[in-house]
Amino acid sequence: MKKPELLVTPKSVDHISALIEMGADAFVIGEHQFGLRLAGEFSVSDVEKATKLIHEAGKKVYVAVNAIFHNDRIDALDNYLKEMQRIGVDALIFGDPAVVVAVRELEITIPLHWNPETIATNWFQANYWYERGAKRTVLARELSLDEVIEIKENAQPEIQVQIHGMTCMFQSKRSLLGNYFLYRDEVMEIENRKANKNMFLHDKERKNKYPIFEDVNGTHIFSPNDMCLIDELTELFEAGIDSLKFDGVLHTEGYINTVTNCYRQAIDAYFDTGEDAYDDIKDELLEKIEEIQPELRPLDTGFIFKETVY
């Protein structure tokens, strides 16, 4: 069996070096105007610097262009894709068919990863987009383990699954917070909201706090818990899942570094030594993550065992 790729989300160009040391295989970066819910903002210049650094380490860089594009952004998208071709990134993450059309018209040769968020739920879709140029399908996070395995068994493209981090449960194209404060005739300047980690939607009945994230794509509300599969990876390994993603959005660099290294140890133990070696350390790795887990962010297994209810 081939080792799955460990895919992470750096917060800056400087952060990438630490994540390479922690064992990351690939990185998702980009600009908020083109990509959804990125852990950090990377200008074209930053993407160029990051790509050089990542390629020198023998790793891969994927650029997110999975925003929902209105007509007024298409020209900017074309120019952005040309820059990514010049830089030589390893893949483009897309959800909107407009990206596929633009890639064909501009003769862009960068591989495509299809990521439509919640709607990638069956292998027919995966194969449909594979026939139209998508090398990889990023599965919806609302799938059970059995559904993930069935898709992998029948899909032609590579399959990517999220194994740790926050999951988005709501997105609006509108800046809901901005509109609310304007409605109340208050000053909208909540300092750099896209980097603000202290905005929450409170659910007193369930005693949950849902993080709120705003960028040029609108308002995003996240699950109250973090997904964590560090001790539940065996069946994903056996299924041959191609890429395992840790989404570090709204987490600190230190947290992202530690969690990345824990998953590196888990993957290497299983594939270099065997299942018993992974079983021997997985509880210890889980405890290590629990020690640094923010108090407001309990860990669960997401929908993989159909436990999570929003």
136-178 pLDDT per residue, tens: 999 998 899 999 999 999 999 999 999 998 876 666 665 555 5
The end-to-end CA distance of the chain, in Å, is 36
pLDDT 10s digits, 106-126: 999 999 999 988 789 999 999
Nearest CA to 6 out of 236, 194, 204, 190 is that of 236
pLDDT 10s digits, 46-99: 999 999 999 999 999 999 999 888 888 788 999 999 999 999 999 999 999 999
Residue 195: is its pLDDT beyond 90?
no
Confidence grade of residue 208 (pLDDT, cut at 50, 70, 90): low
Residue 222: is its pLDDT beyond 80?
no
Residue 226: is its pLDDT beyond 70?
yes
Nearest CA to 215 out of 256, 148, 257, 168 is that of 168
Q: Which of 183-197, 209-223, 272-286 has the highest mean pLDDT?
A: 272-286
Residue 13: is its pLDDT beyond 70?
yes
| Prediction pTM value | 0.86
CATH H-level, domain 5-165+230-274: superfamily: Aldolase class I (3.20.20.70)
Q: Which pLDDT score is estimated for 38?
A: 87
Q: Which pLDDT score is estimated for 169?
A: 62
Q: Which pLDDT score is estimated for 186?
A: 46
| Window from 46-55, 127-136, 195-204, 273-282 with minimum mean pLDDT | 195-204
Domain boundaries, the chain: 5-165+230-274, 171-220
Q: Which pLDDT score is estimated for 84?
A: 98
Q: Which pLDDT score is estimated for 192?
A: 40
Q: How many whole angstroms separate alpha carbon 297 and alpha carbon 283? A: 19
- The Cβ of residue 48 has, within 10 Å, a number of other Cβ atoms equal to 18
Q: Which pLDDT score is estimated for 193?
A: 46
